[in-house]
Structure formats: structure tokens, C-alpha cells
Structure 1
Amino acid sequence: MAKRRTVSNPLALAVLAELTIEPMHPYEMGRRLKEQGKDRNIKYNRSSLYMVVEQLRKAGFVAERETVRDTQRPERTVYALTEEGRAELDDWMRELVAEPQHEYPAFGVALCLLAALPIEESADLLGRRLEALDERIDATRAQLHEVAGTDVHPMFVIEEDYALALLRAERRYTENLVAQLRDPEFGRTLREYLGRTE
């Protein structure tokens, strides 16, 4: 079972991880997260990033290191990871890696309510989803192929490899579901079932 965290936003975990590299200010953290493509997995904007850094500071996981003044930019506070922050990062990462968590993906919501739509329409909509999945699979493959030709270590793109595996699995599942929905026998048995439950 997942622990109750003082700061539970996934962005907080990303901030803690970034600060293991070196102390930095939130603007730099955001720039690096975007540059590394982490924004594809961790939802945030500039204000939420500053808010999370403040929550981490209050929790004692990060501390102000210094305030930097640049003539062209406003004053910026540089934050560093504390010992407590490092312990929280390690504990949180170990939990996320080792223990499967129950998630609530939007497609799961749609599937549990799919009977609200006519079977034919569901099959057509899922067909459109298959096309969209194919586009995403192609784009992710291209991204991984591009990285393969560089000196970036595969460890730093494993989330894209995982995303590709999920997309492929969802595509297989969706293709099978479309075939099932288009099977006349499936529609007949569903109508019979609905007739019994009315």
C-alpha cells in the first residue's frame, strides 16, 4: 500500500531528482525537465513548479542555498536537496518502482462505461482510436530510433520505451475489442442480456 507523503505531487519527485545533480532555481528545474522530455510524463506549469518547490521547502526536503542577482533577470533563489529530501526521494522511488499502484486512466473510465453507447458507434470510435494509436506508436518509434543514433544512454529514455510498450498493448487490446464488438453474435447476446436486466 502506498505511503501517505507529505508532498505527494509527482512533480515534487522530479524536483527532488533534479536537485541530486546540483542546487538550482525553479526556472532552471523547469527548463531541464522540458529539455529532457519529462513534461510528457509529469504534468506541470511554471506556477505549479514554484508551488511544489515551496511545499518541499516547508516540508524540509529542500533548502534555500542562495539568492542570485543577474542584471537582466529578477532575483532567483537557488534550492538544494537536504538529507531529509534525499531520504524521501530514495524511499518514494523505491516504492514506485517496486510496488504497482492502482491508477485511473481515462481509457479505463471509457471502457467501464462503454455500454452507454451503441455497439456500432463504439466499434467505429475504437477504430478511430486505433488510427491515433498507430500515429503515436510511429512517433514514439521514430523518437527512440533518433536517440539510438546518439550518445544518450538508454537509461535516460526508458520512459519512452515503456510508453511504446503500453501503446502496443493498448493497440492489441483495442483491435481485439473492435473485432468482438463487430461480431454479430456478441451484439445478439448483449441485447439478450440487456433484455433480462431491464
Structure 2
Amino acid sequence: MRNLTTLGLAVLRLLDEQPRHPYEVRQRMREQGLDHLIKVTHGALYHAFDVLTKADYIHPVETTREGKRPERTVYAITDAGREIATGRLRELLATLQPEYPAYCAALAFMSLLSPDDAAAQLERRTVLLEAELAAATTSSDALFKRGVNAIDIIELRHLQAHLRADLDLTRAIADDIREGRLHWRTTE
């Protein structure tokens, strides 16, 4: 089940709602804010559809053409697709997966900078985090007001919680450096 990517899982979930063509899946991902959590490129999405089709997790149900537009193939999830999606989802919800965030590594190596430089970089990060948190909150509120079910945007709550925690920690570290509670020697 580990070979089912988060993009593949997203495709299966959206096809479980109803059969769709890849472009429509991409639009629904944008509407639901999933593109903030999963990197979605045109090529990656079509590759995911290819992989899922070859694995018999989805299958084409019709091909249509409107005017001079290219053909669009509509896909539906199979029973095997539903089974693999629910199994992978259970695994992702119930277990811890190792993650290697770049920010944690940057904190581990922060002593390469002078304390003033490190604090300045962290303060810049807080501005970006504040903007990202505001955008996520606005997006979540807008989706909720449009009638999107809370369960369909629950991942935005998770994102907001992470952004708040990151913001709080980053501010605290910058403050600790500025107030002299966190210090180190540099070779500069």
C-alpha cells in the first residue's frame, strides 16, 4: 500500500465521489484546497491517472469531445481502488511516518550564522508564516461559506495548526536569541 502516493489517494477519493476526467479532478483539488497540501502538476496528475489505471484502481468509463477541444476521458474508481485507498488511508492515519522537514535541519545548523543574522532570518520567516496562516484561514472560511463539508477541508485545520505552531516556535526562538536566552559563538 505504501506505493500509493498522496496524489493517487486524492485522485481515488475524488473519483469515489463520482466519475471525473483529470482536468475536473484538478479543479476539485483547487476548490477544496488540496493543492496546498499535495504538489500537483499537470504531468504528475496525468502520471497518477496512468499508474492508477495500470494497477486497475481506476478505469475509463467514457471519452467525450466538446467542439474543437481535445478528447476527455472520464474515469471511475474500481473496487480494488476503493480497497487500496481505504487501506492506505488507515495506514496513514494510524501510524507515524518519518518526515524530514528542511526547517528542522535549518534549526539544527543555525549556529553557522551569527545570532543577529539567525534572528533576522527567523523574523523574516514569521512574516511569511503570518501571511500563509492568514491565507489558509481565508481559504478555509471561504470554502466553508460556499458549503463545502467540514470533512472535505479537515486537512486545512491541520495545516493551520502546523502554521500556528511553527509561527509560535519561530517567534519564541527569535525572541530567545534577541533577549540573550539562546546564544552561541560563531567563527565570523
Deviation of 1:14 (Å): 0.7
- Residues 1:132 and 1:40: Cα distance change in structure 2 (over 3 Å): same
- Residues 1:161 and 1:30: Cα distance change in structure 2 (over 3 Å): same
Identity %: 35
Q: Which residue of 1 aligns with 2:46?
A: 50
Contact 2:32 2:143 in 1 (8 A): no
Q: Which residue of 2 aligns with 1:165?
A: 161
Contact 2:133 2:160 in 1 (8 A): yes
- Residues 1:68 and 1:133: Cα distance change in structure 2 (over 3 Å): same
SS of 1:65's equivalent in the other structure is: strand
Counterpart-to-counterpart distance in 1, 2:146 and 2:101: 33
Q: Which residue of 1 aligns with 2:114?
A: 118
Q: Which residue of 1 aligns with 2:178?
A: 182
Deviation of 1:51 (Å): 1.0
Runs of 4+ in 1 over 6 A off after TM superposition: none
Task: Point out where structure 2 has 5 or more consecutive residues left out of the alignment.
Answer: none
For 2:123, give the aligned amino acid.
Answer: G
Q: CA RMSD of the aligned region, Å? A: 2.1
TM-score calculated relative to the size of structure 1: 0.84
Task: Point out where structure 1 has 5 or more consecutive residues left out of the alignment.
Answer: none
Superposition pairs for residues 29-178 of structure 1, below 5 Å?
29-178=25-174
For 2:10, give the aligned amino acid.
Answer: A
Deviation of 1:180 (Å): 2.3
TM-score calculated relative to the size of structure 2: 0.88
Counterpart-to-counterpart distance in 1, 2:173 and 2:181: 14
SS of 2:71's equivalent in the other structure is: strand
